[in-house]
């Protein structure tokens, strides 16, 4: 689904990202962990063609993301508030997206229905602009927007951050269900190791832009990650 070849991002003298090769197959739940400054967000931004790669390329279904635009209908993403139109109310935002993705009203209401537990009645029908919502609720809007339009892959940066515990659990269920029902590929970066280990089939550990570990077996993830992050 997503292939990375000889990807490098260099700011001045420092290499902030250096990934020789990475391939993410369809319907994999891919976790990205690493301490601050490891390059997680930069990697996501390059994958979405928001930041230019210094060298190398990212391909979505064999299409170079920096050359074409066809992939944009297949990949949904929520990285930060820059990706929302915060001067709209959540409904208006979803409606705007619906028109952009050319979905019917029914598609949208079906989609939002899936999120009704996750939204916990605080998002829709609440006459507030997105910018006036709490951080957790903004995140919920962004996540629901990223999954709109039946994307084949969804990129989420720190999706669990700012969410209350019940919402975190609901989000995990949502992700697993989408994956099972529609073979959606998920790319998730997070600092919450427990959540990532629980839902991800594969975890890549970044350190200063390099892939230090690529864990594909569930049973040794916990031990490996604990060994790395336990600084004592």
The minimum distance between CB 26 and other proteins, in angstroms, equals: 20
Residues in the chain: 232
The minimum distance between CB 86 and other proteins, in angstroms, equals: 7
The minimum distance between CB 87 and other proteins, in angstroms, equals: 5
Give whichever of 21 and 92 is closer to other proteins, judged by the CB atom: 92
The minimum distance between CB 221 and other proteins, in angstroms, equals: 31
Give whichever of 5 and 126 is closer to other proteins, judged by the CB atom: 126
* Beta pairing, strands 210-215 & 202-207: antiparallel
Give whichever of 131 and 182 is closer to other proteins, judged by the CB atom: 131
- Check: CB of residue 171 under 8 Å from CB of residue 119: no
Give whichever of 91 and 224 is closer to other proteins, judged by the CB atom: 91
- Nearest-10 crossing angle of helices 90-101, 105-114: 130
Give whichever of 82 and 230 is closer to other proteins, judged by the CB atom: 82
Give the footprint of other proteins on this chain (CB under 8 A). 48-52, 69-70, 72-73, 77, 79-89, 92, 96, 99-100, 127-129, 131-132
The minimum distance between CB 180 and other proteins, in angstroms, equals: 26
């Amino acid at each position: 689904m997503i292939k990375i070849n000889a990807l490098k991002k260099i700011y001045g003298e420092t290499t902030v990202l250096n990934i020789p090769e990475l391939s993410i197959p369809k319907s994999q739940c891919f976790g990205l962990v690493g301490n601050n400054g490891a390059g997680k967000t930069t990697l996501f931004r390059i994958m979405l063609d928001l930041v230019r790669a210094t060298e190398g390329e990212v391909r979505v279904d064999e299409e170079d993301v920096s050359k074409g635009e066809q992939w944009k209908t297949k990949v949904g993403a929520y990285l930060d508030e820059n990706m929302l139109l915060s001067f709209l109310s959540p409904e208006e935002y979803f409606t705007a997206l619906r028109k952009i993705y050319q979905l019917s009203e029914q598609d949208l209401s079906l989609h939002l229905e899936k999120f009704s537990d996750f939204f916990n009645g605080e998002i829709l029908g609440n006459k507030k602009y997105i910018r006036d919502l709490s951080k957790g609720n903004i995140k919920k809007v962004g996540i629901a927007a990223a999954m709109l339009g039946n994307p084949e892959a969804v990129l989420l940066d720190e999706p669990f951050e700012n969410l209350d515990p019940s919402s975190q659990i609901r989000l995990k269920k949502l992700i697993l269900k989408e994956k099972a029902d529609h073979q959606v590929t998920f790319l998730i970066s997070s600092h919450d190791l427990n959540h990532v280990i629980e839902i991800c089939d594969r975890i890549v550990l970044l350190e200063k832009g390099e892939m230090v570990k690529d864990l594909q077996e569930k049973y040794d993830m916990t031990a490996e990650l604990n060994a790395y992050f336990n600084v004592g």
